[in-house]
């Protein structure tokens, strides 16, 4: 594989200047790892980026599956992120400042707000922390979305800002965020985090790494902060954040961030029951190569539709954007189930849906006839209640899949789970909506797994080719018939 590496890349790394020596050595090490152990390189990359990446049509080899199992085991054994985060804080939190003390009192009087916000943050926290670290930014920035949106990716402000970072449409576009009818990248936690942090890199440089001024500018704009600085210069006054004449919202914003960092830094003094978050990759990005129905994807991944939507909030409708991105964010524990089932799914090919704007005089029957489908399909695809259509309403018209929801469920029932770990498998049991594919980890037993998923041991044995409750091994896969929980 060494011969296939672009020589210009090697030359660029080798010719890096002296002051970049550590970075140069790191990249040379990573490049050698890519050459001789690409799977280990992928793991290193996921640690740097904070997310595992699976490219289009990636087939999970047995070696890659074992590595995935190791990553899952490492995730469950990892330290608590909150402990790591407080060790990485670098700014002075000015705990004695009256404005900071006031914000501390606010948070301590409203602990439920912090618990809700940090619970929402849990799936994304490791990813965002790694992206902050990658850019050599202050670790305190991980807390900024708590103030902006309470870590709610679906949040919109009255002014039109959106996503966990509350980016305005213009700023988001300037930093490469795609926004259209199908997809709002400001709500996409992966894309918006990169854009927001790149913006903060710019603001940090603009204010010579005075991060209190940069935080203020993120809230109110660098132009307003710069104007306040110039005013103080003219009047012979100090130009630090605390001396500037800024809107009250901004004067509260900066001490609120410092108050959050203070609370997390001193858990004995400020006891709040934050949810445990593992300091290891939790998320994976899977490129499915084309448009896909999100409910169908949830079935294949063994996730609830609501949780899949929570991890993929950038998609504003039931299907992904037909022009891309084609990426799904999944928990690493569900990657193997999704990729195995997706390849075997009758809906492996793209889902085709057209956008149609209702015109005056339109009825569902006329629209269905025009697009060679039927009214139940359109009603089902758009969750339309009985009643007249309003002109100007946007509809998605499913193409070549007239009974999409029923077809997806039927397809899922007919999609066999791959059982490579059990070549002697004779059972005809196939995946059902709501089932889970589980990879056995160190210390597992049939009884423990059944208790964890709240299903009878006999049901677990019946769904898998197990001769007894003892015949499981680490790295093997089991079908967990969790659909039984919904029908019990």
- Condensed to tens digits (0 to 9), the pLDDT of residues 366-409 reads 888 888 777 777 776 676 766 678 888 888 786 543 344 344 44
Nearest CA among 421, 474, 467, 476 for reference residue 444: 474
Q: How confident is the model at residue 308 (pLDDT cuts 50, 70, 90)?
A: very high
Q: What is the pLDDT at residue 350?
A: 45
**Torsions phi, psi of 479, nearest 5?**
-85, 125
What is the fold of 81-265?
Lysozyme (1.10.530)
Per-residue DSSP letters for 259-310? HHHHHHH-TTTS---PPP-BSS--EEEEE-SS--BHHHHHHHHT--HHHHHH
Q: How confident is the model at residue 108 (pLDDT cuts 50, 70, 90)?
A: very high
Q: What is the pLDDT at residue 397?
A: 80
Q: What is the pLDDT at residue 104?
A: 97
Mean pLDDT, rounded, for 468-473: 70
Q: How confident is the model at residue 279 (pLDDT cuts 50, 70, 90)?
A: very high
Segment 182-215, tens digit of pLDDT:
899 999 999 999 999 999 999 999 999 999 999 9
Question: Nearest-5° angle of CA 237, CA 256, CA 246?
Answer: 35
Q: What is the pLDDT at residue 385?
A: 67
Residues belonging to the active site: 148
Mean pLDDT, rounded, for 291-309: 90
Distance of CA 105 to the CA centre of its chain: 31
Task: Report which listed range, 16-20, 131-135, 400-404, 480-484, is most confident.
Answer: 131-135
Segment 239-258, tens digit of pLDDT:
999 999 999 999 999 999 99
| CA-to-CA separations, 325 to 6, 110, 111, 348, 350, in angstroms, rounded | 27, 38, 37, 17, 13
Domain ranges, ordered by start, for the chain: 1-36, 81-265, 352-400, 416-487
Cβ atoms of 261 and 90 within 8 Å: the answer is: no
**Torsions phi, psi of 237, nearest 5?**
-105, 165
Segment 411-470, tens digit of pLDDT:
444 444 333 332 333 345 666 666 677 777 777 888 888 888 888 887 888 877 776 666
How many CB atoms sit inside 10 A of residue 282's CB? 24
19 or 449, greater pLDDT: 449
Segment 43-93, tens digit of pLDDT:
555 567 889 988 875 667 888 888 888 999 999 899 999 999 999 999 999
Q: What's the number of CA atoms in the CB half-sphere (13 Å) around residue 347? A: 28
Nearest CA among 330, 292, 305, 345 for reference residue 486: 305
Strands 52-54 and 283-287: parallel
Nearest CA among 39, 71, 45, 41 for reference residue 58: 39
Give me the long-range contacts of 404-408 (CB less than 8 A, separation at least 24).
Answer: 404/293, 404/351, 404/377, 404/380, 405/295, 405/380, 405/381, 407/347, 408/293, 408/295, 408/296, 408/299, 408/347
Strands 352-357 and 394-399: antiparallel
Indicate if the pLDDT at residue 346 is higher than 90: no
CA 146/CA 446 separation, integer angstroms? 40
Judge if 81-265 and 352-400 fold alike in CATH terms: no
Cβ atoms of 430 and 415 within 8 Å: the answer is: yes
CA 233/CA 399 separation, integer angstroms? 64
Mean pLDDT, rounded, for 323-335: 91
**Torsions phi, psi of 273, nearest 5?**
-85, 75
Q: Which position has the token pair 């603009």?
A: 206
Mean pLDDT, rounded, for 158-182: 93
Q: What is the pLDDT at residue 57?
A: 58
Average pLDDT value over all residues in the chain = 81
Secondary-structure class of domain 416-487 per CATH = alpha beta
Q: How confident is the model at residue 347 (pLDDT cuts 50, 70, 90)?
A: low
CA 1/CA 37 separation, integer angstroms? 10
Secondary-structure class of domain 352-400 per CATH = alpha beta
């Amino acid at each position: 594989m060494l011969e296939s590496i672009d020589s210009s890349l090697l030359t660029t790394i080798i010719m890096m200047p002296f002051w970049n020596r550590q970075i140069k050595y790191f990249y040379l090490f990573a490049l050698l790892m890519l050459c001789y152990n690409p799977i280990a390189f992928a793991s290193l990359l996921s640690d740097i980026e904070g997310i595992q990446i699976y490219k289009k049509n990636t087939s999970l080899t047995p070696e890659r599956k074992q590595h995935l199992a190791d990553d899952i085991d490492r995730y469950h054994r990892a330290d608590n992120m909150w402990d790591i985060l407080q060790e990485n804080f670098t700014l002075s939190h000015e705990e004695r400042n009256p404005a900071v003390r006031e914000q501390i009192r606010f948070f301590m009087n409203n602990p439920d707000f912090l618990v809700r916000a940090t619970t929402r943050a849990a799936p994304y926290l490791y990813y965002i922390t790694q992206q902050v670290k990658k850019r050599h930014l202050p670790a305190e920035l991980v807390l900024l979305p708590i103030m902006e949106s309470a870590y709610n990716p679906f949040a919109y402000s009255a002014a039109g800002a959106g996503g966990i970072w509350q980016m305005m449409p213009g700023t988001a576009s300037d930093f490469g965020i795609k926004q259209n009818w199908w997809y709002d990248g400001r709500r996409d936690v992966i894309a918006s985090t990169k854009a927001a942090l790149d913006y903060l890199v710019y603001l940090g440089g603009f204010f010579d790494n005075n991060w209190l001024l940069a935080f203020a500018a993120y809230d109110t704009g660098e132009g307003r902060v710069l104007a306040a600085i110039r005013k103080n210069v003219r009047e012979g006054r100090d130009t630090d954040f605390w001396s500037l004449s800024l809107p009250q919202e901004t004067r509260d914003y900066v001490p609120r961030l410092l108050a959050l960092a203070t609370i997390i830094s001193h858990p004995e003094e400020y006891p709040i029951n934050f949810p445990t978050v593992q300091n290891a990759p939790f998320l994976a990005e899977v490129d499915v190569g084309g448009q896909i129905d999100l409910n169908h994807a949830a079935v294949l991944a063994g996730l609830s539709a609501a949780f899949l939507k929570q991890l993929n909030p950038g998609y504003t409708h039931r299907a992904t954007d037909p022009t891309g991105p084609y990426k799904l964010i999944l928990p690493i524990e569900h990657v193997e189930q999704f990729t195995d089932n997706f390849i075997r799914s009758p809906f492996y090919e793209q889902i085709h849906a057209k956008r149609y704007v209702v015109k005056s005089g339109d009825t569902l029957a006329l629209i269905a006839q025009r697009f060679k489908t039927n009214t139940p399909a359109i009603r089902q695809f758009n969750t339309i209640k009985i009643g007249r259509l309003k002109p100007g309403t946007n509809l998605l018209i499913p193409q070549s899949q007239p009974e999409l929801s029923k077809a997806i469920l039927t397809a899922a029932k007919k999609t066999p789970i791959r059982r490579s770990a059990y070549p002697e498998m004779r059972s005809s049991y196939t995946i059902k909506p709501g089932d889970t594919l589980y990879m056995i980890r160190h210390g597992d037993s049939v009884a423990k797994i059944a208790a964890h998923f709240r299903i009878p041991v006999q049901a677990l044995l019946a769904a898998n080719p197990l001769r007894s409750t003892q015949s499981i091994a680490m790295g093997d896969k089991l079908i967990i018939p969790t659909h039984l929980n919904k029908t019990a």
